[in-house]
Chain A
Amino acid sequence: MKLSESKRENFYFYLFISPWLIGFLVFALYPILSSLYYSFTDYDIISKPTFIGLDNFRELFQDELFYKSIVVTLKYTFISVPLGLFLSLIFAMLINMKIPAQGFFRTAMYFPSMISGVSMSLLWFWIFNPEAGIFNYILSLFGVKGPAWFLDEKFAMWALIIMTFWGVGAGMIIFLAGLQGVPASLLEAARLDGASKWKTFWNVTFPMISPVFLFQLIMAVIESFQVFTQAYVMTQGGPNYSTRFYVFNVYVSAFKDFRLGYASAMAWLLLLAILIVTVIIMKSSNRFVYYEGGRD
């Protein structure tokens, strides 16, 4: 009886999860393995892939555009991720104070995050227009002559980084929920002990929201490794490759140059990079992340 019951459960378990299992095999596991295979081949999708060993990787390490795309992506990540996390946490803390119209502020700041990446890109390309754009007009009111932004290789990246400010609302909402989950009794105890606001933040509030912080950090890094929309819609990777993001570079080499083997090699390196960075962040997080009720 017992055996048949566990067999029955086994059967239904696999029956119910079969959609995911099929999806996992066909759209995750198979692509990961086959892209590893393709990365050792020369393949243009029309003729059959030919095995060329490590040639793709050898070529990659001499490919200036490949290095450029790594530098561009890392630069964007190192500036926009900390800035975004910092601002969204600060804004969440401001809203979490005892002030009127909290709901309004929360909705208003989240609002730009509802607009799609493509629409946002169109809007900002117009705002940053060197001649008729409103950004340079506002700068001119302060006596600053604005640069040509997306038309100038020194400033295109900065324009993209400035844009991220309008996306902090999504992170802000998550931090706000985290802040509101900090038990009032802990804050009260800190206050009674005469702890300063600064000390209360670093010793009570931050440890309590550190798991949220960790999650946001990892997701933000993974996301910024995969920037595509801005490059595709606004800059096409230019000017002079100054916004040639990694994924855009993969896209061009796979779907414009039809070098699917070469692009697969890059895609695989991206997967590895994300894996390694995630592990590094997780490992180093032991120092700053506090789990209530211990770790399992």
Chain B
Amino acid sequence: MSNSVTERNTHVTMDPAALKADSRRKMTIGEIIAFILLICITITMIFPVVFMVSTALKTSKEMLQFPPTIIPRVFAWENFRTLFANEEIKFGILYKNSIIVAVVSVIGTVFSSALVAYGFTRYRAKGKRILFMLMISTMMLPYPAVMIPQFILFSNLGWVNSFLPLIVPTFLGSAYQIFLLRQFFMSLPNELYDSGRIDGCTEFRLFWKIALPLSGPALATVAIFTFIWTWNDLLGPVLYLSSQEKFTLPVGLAAMMSSKFRIAPYNLLMCASIMTTLPIIAIFASAQKHFTEGIVLTGIK
């Protein structure tokens, strides 16, 4: 994990004399206790994840054994094959649906939020302050408070049991992401646009050719957040997707849990959970820095 943030004040409270011998400095009693505590906490935190992987690799028989084993006696790798091959679960279709919804939502959100954020940053206009306040306040708007009228709206349009209610709104921006991008655009100096202006660029070209290429990290943060939110969202898809062919992963997994199985096939469910989590881990691993910064940015505002 990159430690650029952490390193900044690792040494803050130390004497100048102690600073010299810093690297070989002995830990104080308090720090040793903290270290040991952290190890215990981390083991507790990671244990359920270990148990998830362990369950995923057990045969159905070993899964129900009591006391439960942590390391499976037989590694049932074929569980993953069973998961994808199972006709009832249709895991491949769930996966495909989730990818479609998440990718289209990312494109929609990044593009529209950037446009709006650019508008809020670059132009002075009547009513801008009020509109900005309104936008900020919608960040707090709970989805359950608007879901019923939205559902009525979409069902009148005949969009129920399609991806449209999930992806069309993403093309109209998301308040969180607009705010995040606006903070970033504010940091770009105005002079950047001058040369483009002299060359007679249109306003859209200034946005497309100057603002966007300079905003890679911020756009990446928005893309990552949107992907994860959409990928993990349950309530929206539960409302709109009614046939199994249209289910996304969270809805499909929830349906597996509640379905006709007498004893839920937890080993398969855990395989499915692992497969669902893998893309998130991959994204996190490849974009850790943006990710942490993004959490911090949206967290602190």
Contact = CB atoms under 8 A, between A and B. Distances in A.
Interface residues of A, number: 101
Interface string A120-143: 011111110001111001000000
Contacts of A16: 115-116, 118-120, 122-123, 203, 207
Interface in B125-173: 125-126, 128, 131, 134-135, 138, 140-153, 155, 169, 171-173
B112 A20 contact: yes
B276 interface: yes
A20 B172 contact: yes
A6, A14, A38, A188 — which one has the most chain B CB atoms within 10 A of its CB? A14
A203 interface: no
Contacts of B140: 222, 274, 278
Contacts of A6: 124
Contacts of B128: 13
Contact of B172 (A22, A134, A233): A22
A288 interface: no
A196 interface: no
Contacts of A131: 66
A180 B6 contact: yes
Contacts of A94: 34, 37-38, 41
Interface string A152-195: 00000000000001100110011001101010100110010000
A10 B122 CA distance: 11
A220 to B, nearest CB: 12
A38 B277 CA distance: 39
Given A174-B296, A180-B6, A216-B299, A117 B234 contact: yes
A122, A125, A234 — which one has the most chain B CB atoms within 10 A of its CB? A122
Contacts of B38: 91, 94-95, 99, 105
Interface stretch (A51-59, A60-68, A77-85, A259-267): A259-267
Interface in A16-75: 16-17, 19-24, 26-28, 30-32, 34-35, 38, 45
A270 interface: yes
A206 interface: no
Contacts of B235: 228-229, 247, 251
Interface of B: 1-3, 5-6, 8-13, 27, 30-31, 34-35, 37-38, 41-42, 44-46, 48-49, 51-52, 55, 63-68, 112, 115-116, 118-120, 122-126, 128, 131, 134-135, 138, 140-153, 155, 169, 171-173, 175, 178, 203, 207, 228, 231-232, 234-235, 238-239, 249-250, 253-254, 257-258, 264, 266, 269-270, 272-273, 276-277, 280-281, 284, 292, 295-296, 299-301
Query: What are the 10 tightest A-B residue pairs by CB atom distance, in nearest-first order?
Result: A16-B119, A23-B172, A103-B1, A184-B12, A13-B125, A119-B273, A31-B146, A116-B232, A174-B299, A31-B149
Interface of A: 6, 9-10, 12-17, 19-24, 26-28, 30-32, 34-35, 38, 45, 91, 94-95, 97-100, 102-109, 111-112, 114-119, 121-127, 131-134, 137, 165-166, 169-170, 173-174, 177-178, 180, 182, 184, 187-188, 191, 211-212, 215-216, 222, 225-226, 228-229, 232-234, 236, 247, 250-251, 254-255, 260, 263-264, 267-268, 270-271, 274, 278
Given A117-B234, A173-B295, 6 more contacts: A20-B116, A23-B173, A109-B45, A188-B12, A191-B13, A267-B146
